[in-house]
Amino acid sequence: MSDEIELSLPIANVGRMMKKILPPSAKISREAKERMQQCASEFICFVTGEAAHRCQKENRKTVNGDDICWALSSLGFDNYSEAMLRYLENFREFERERANQNNYKANNNCIEEKDEETKCMTIQH
């Protein structure tokens, strides 16, 4: 038994991604899905390892999206890095908008509660 834990993407997910690219009538063998699963998992480990090495040199414990983009670029995957940077920017903008909406809702609830308290105080007096 190996001490190394095998980490890999779920084969059903890999198969779905492969089917999206192929014509509807195409079939994918189990072996092809397994090979792609191994390649994708190895690629993720390769990029993550490079990003983790950067974090270690900078005395940081957390790998973030910028580290992954940097790793992709440093490993020669500039096209992927550029696409990831655009995705990361869109994701961060979405998160900011969501936080602003949550803050807006919380503030409105607070105002409504204060209005209710004021009404109650007025009625009681």
pLDDT of residue 110 exceeding 80, the answer is: no
- Those residues whose C-beta lies under 8 Å from the C-beta of residue 73, and which sit 6 or more positions away, are 81
Lowest mean pLDDT among 20-29, 90-99, 102-111: 102-111
CATH value at residue 25:
1.10.20.10
3: tokens are 């001490």
Averaged confidence pLDDT in the chain: 86
Q: How far is CA 80 from CA 11, 48, 64, in A?
A: 23, 14, 16
What are the phi and psi torsion angles at 60 (to 5°)?
-115, 150
pLDDT above 90 as % of the chain: 70
Residues 45 and 89 both lie in one domain: no
Select the more confidently predicted residue: 34 or 119: 34
Residues 30 and 82 both lie in one domain: no
Rounded distance between C-alpha atoms, residue 121 and residue 116, angstroms: 9
